[in-house]
Chain A
Amino acid sequence: MNHKINRVIIVGGGTAGWLSAGIIAAEHCIASAGSDTVDSFQLTLVESPDIPTIGVGEGTWPSMRSTLQKMGISETDFFRECSASFKQGTLFKGWRTGADDIYTHPFTAPQSYSEVNLAPHWQTAREQINFAQAVSPQSALFADKLAPKQISTPEYAFNVNYGYHLDAAKFAEFLRKHCVEKLGVTHIKANVTAVNSAENGDIASIATDSHGNIEGDLFIDCSGSRALLIGDHFAIPVCSKSDVLFNNTALAAQIPYTDENDPIESCTLSSAQSAGWIWEIGLPTRRGIGHVYSSDHNTEERASEELLSYIASTVSEQAAAAATLRKVQFSPGHRAKFWHKNCVAIGMSAGFIEPLEASALVLVELSAAMISEQLPANRGVMDLVAKRFNDKFLYRWDRIIEFLKLHYILSQRRDTEYWRDNCEASSIPEHLQDLLALWRHQSPWHRDSHNVDEMFPSASFQYVLYGMDFETLTSQTQRRSEQAERLRAGSLFQENTARTRQLQASLPTNRDLINKIHTFGFQKI
Chain B
Amino acid sequence: MSNYKILSKEAHKDLRVNTVRSAEYGDNIMYTMTFPMEFRDIQSCYPIFFCKDSESGQLYPAALLGFEQDENLFLSDSGWDASYIPMMVRRHPFLIGFQADPDGPEGATKPVVSIDSDSPRLIDSADKDSEEGEILFNQDATPSDFLQATIGTLESIHRGLEHNKGFIAALLEHELLESFSLKITLNDGSNNELKGFYTIAEQKLQSLDGDTLAKFNAQGYLQSIYMAIASFARLRPMIDKKNAQLP
Contacts and interface: CB of A to CB of B under 8 A. Distances in A.
Given A516-B56, A525-B177, A525-B178, 9 more contacts: A151-B54, A151-B57, A153-B57, A516-B55, A516-B57, A523-B57, A524-B172, A525-B179, A525-B198
A508 to B, nearest CB: 10
29 contacts: A150-B54, A150-B57, A151-B54, A151-B55, A151-B56, A151-B57, A152-B52, A152-B53, A152-B54, A152-B57, A152-B196, A516-B55, A516-B56, A516-B57, A519-B56, A520-B56, A520-B58, A521-B57, A522-B57, A523-B52, A523-B57, A523-B58, A523-B172, A524-B172, A524-B175, A525-B177, A525-B178, A525-B179, A525-B198
Interface in B29-51: none
Q: For chain B, which range describes its interface: under 10, 10 to 19, 20 to 34, or 35 or more residues?
A: 10 to 19
A202 B82 CA distance: 79
B59 interface: yes
A153 B54 CA distance: 9
Contacts of B178: 525
A152 to B, nearest CB: 4
B190 to A, nearest CB: 22
Interface residues of A, number: 12
Contacts of B179: 525
Contacts of B175: 524
A4 B59 CA distance: 48
A523 B196 CA distance: 13
Contacts of A523: 52, 57-59, 172
A523 B59 CA distance: 8
Contacts of B52: 152, 523
Interface of B: 52-59, 172, 175, 177-179, 196, 198
A435 B175 CA distance: 50
B57 A525 contact: no
Contact of A520 (B57, B172, B198): B57
Contacts of B196: 152
A519 B58 CA distance: 11
A150 B57 CA distance: 8
A150 B198 CA distance: 17
A451 to B, nearest CB: 34
Contacts of A153: 57
A522 B52 CA distance: 11
Nearest to B56: A520
A273 B125 CA distance: 72
A525 B177 CA distance: 8
A522 B172 CA distance: 12
Contacts of B59: 523
Interface string A142-157: 0000000011110000
A151 B53 CA distance: 9
Contact of A525 (B55, B56, B58, B172): B172
A519 B55 CA distance: 11
A524 to B, nearest CB: 7
B55 to A, nearest CB: 7
Contacts of B54: 150-152
Contacts of B55: 151, 516
